[in-house]
Amino acid sequence: MRLKLDARVYSVEAVREAAEAFQEWASFIVSKAGKDIRVEARPAGGPLGAGFEDEFCNYVLGAMRS
């Protein structure tokens, strides 16, 4: 799974926090390129579910609050 998040509204810290929370299901590479935060997820076991990306984004948004 490859994902781009807008770095102007999301912080890298929040994305890393989400990656840490989801590391049971995938391993993550988080990088910043210009206005984007790029996330690359490689499944740890079986394939990632359909809602994985959306759940991940929701988690990042939740982490922004803290």
Partner 1 sequence: MAKTETFFDVQMPLYELEAVYLACYSFLDRAYIRLEGDPKKKVRVRVKSKEGGDAAALAGEIENELIHQSLRAKTASTNQKIREHIITLALASAQGGAPEPADICAGGEAPAPAPGGKEDNLLDEELEAEVDRLLAEVEKEGGEDPLNIAAPWEEAGEKTTVKKKTSRKNKKGKKKHAAKA
Task: Tell me which residues touch partner 1 (CB under 8 A).
Answer: 5-6, 8-10, 51, 54-55, 57-58, 61-62, 64-65
Partnered with residue 36 across adjacent β-strands are: 6, 33
Helix axes 12-21, 52-65, angle to 10 degrees: 130
Q: How far is the CB of 62 from partner 1 (least distance, A)?
A: 6
Q: How far is the CB of 5 from partner 1 (least distance, A)?
A: 8
If the CB atoms of residues 35 and 42 are measured against partner 1, the closer one turns out to be 35
What is the spatial distance between Cα 63 and Cα 66, in angstroms, rounded to a whole number?
5
